[in-house]
């Protein structure tokens, strides 16, 4: 999908799965008794945006509140002191809830439009195809670096159980036993660091990552 197709709302405070040019869409742990090691179905994805100027900060209203129950564990590790990573840890639960609920409403209302555009189609595909994701999810931060556009690209790995399950095919939509990469660019605003857009995950290796859940 186009990276700069600006959706309806441009209100941001919080985040952020699921689709990037080279990133994999997420789903959830397979139902009890099912085996998720066969073939895979098509993966919803969105291509990364390529801004030609510095990021436009999203407008903000009230501070979004993440789900009370812990649906996803975000492990920051050695990057915990990075302000952009701290913003990701705070906002990811709301993004994950949108994936689990297969409802992009909260992203449209409270997140930057570029990020909404990147993930909304994947959520729509999941709803249309009956793909399901169930907590808990597990995400590990494996890197963070500044970009020429003034954002910070936070590199993450999402566990196999943080992927969509396809009940019809009886398999994961993305078969990634060792997890799948997802890179989220964060931008600093008056409300702190917020997810700005998904970026290419090329070069991110999740083979040796140990997930907390």
Which residues, other chains included, contact 164 with Cβ-Cβ below 8 Å and sequence gap of 6+?
A: 25, 26, 27, 28, 99, 126, 131, 132, 133, 172, 173, 174
pLDDT grade, residue 42 (50/70/90)?
very low
**Contact indicator for 46, 118 with CB cutoff of 8 Å:** yes
pLDDT at 60: 46
pLDDT grade, residue 82 (50/70/90)?
very high
Query: Does position 35 have pLDDT exceeding 90, yes or no?
Result: no
Q: How far apart are CA 73 and CA 89, in angstroms?
A: 9
Per-residue pLDDT reduced to its tens digit, 160-209:
999 999 999 999 999 999 999 999 999 998 878 989 999 999 999 999 99
What's the mean pLDDT in 136-144? 96
pLDDT: which is higher, 28 or 156: 156
Q: How far apart are CA 191 and CA 55, in angstroms?
A: 15
Query: Does position 84 have pLDDT exceeding 90, yes or no?
Result: yes
pLDDT: which is higher, 103 or 14: 103
**Contact indicator for 197, 112 with CB cutoff of 8 Å:** yes
């Amino acid at each position: 999908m186009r990276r700069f197709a600006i959706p309806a709302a441009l209100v941001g405070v919080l985040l952020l799965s699921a689709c990037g040019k080279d990133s994999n869409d997420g789903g959830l742990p397979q139902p009890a008794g099912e085996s998720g090691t066969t073939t895979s179905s098509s993966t919803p994805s969105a291509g990364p945006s390529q801004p030609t100027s510095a990021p436009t900060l999203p407008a903000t209203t009230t501070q979004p509140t993440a789900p009370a129950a812990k649906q996803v564990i975000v492990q920051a590790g050695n990057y915990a002191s990075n302000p952009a990573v701290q913003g990701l840890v705070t906002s990811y639960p709301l993004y994950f809830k949108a994936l689990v609920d297969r409802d992009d409403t909260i992203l449209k209302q409270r997140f930057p439009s570029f990020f909404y555009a990147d993930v909304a189609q994947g959520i729509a595909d999941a709803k249309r195809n009956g793909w399901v994701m169930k907590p808990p999810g597990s995400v590990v931060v494996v890197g963070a670096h500044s970009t020429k556009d003034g954002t910070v690209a936070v590199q993450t790995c999402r566990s196999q159980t943080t992927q969509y399950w396809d009940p019809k095919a009886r398999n994961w939509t993305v078969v990634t036993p060792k997890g799948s990469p997802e890179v989220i660019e964060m931008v600093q605003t008056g409300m702190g660091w917020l997810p700005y857009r998904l970026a290419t995950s090329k070069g991110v290796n999740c083979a040796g990552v140990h997930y907390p859940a």
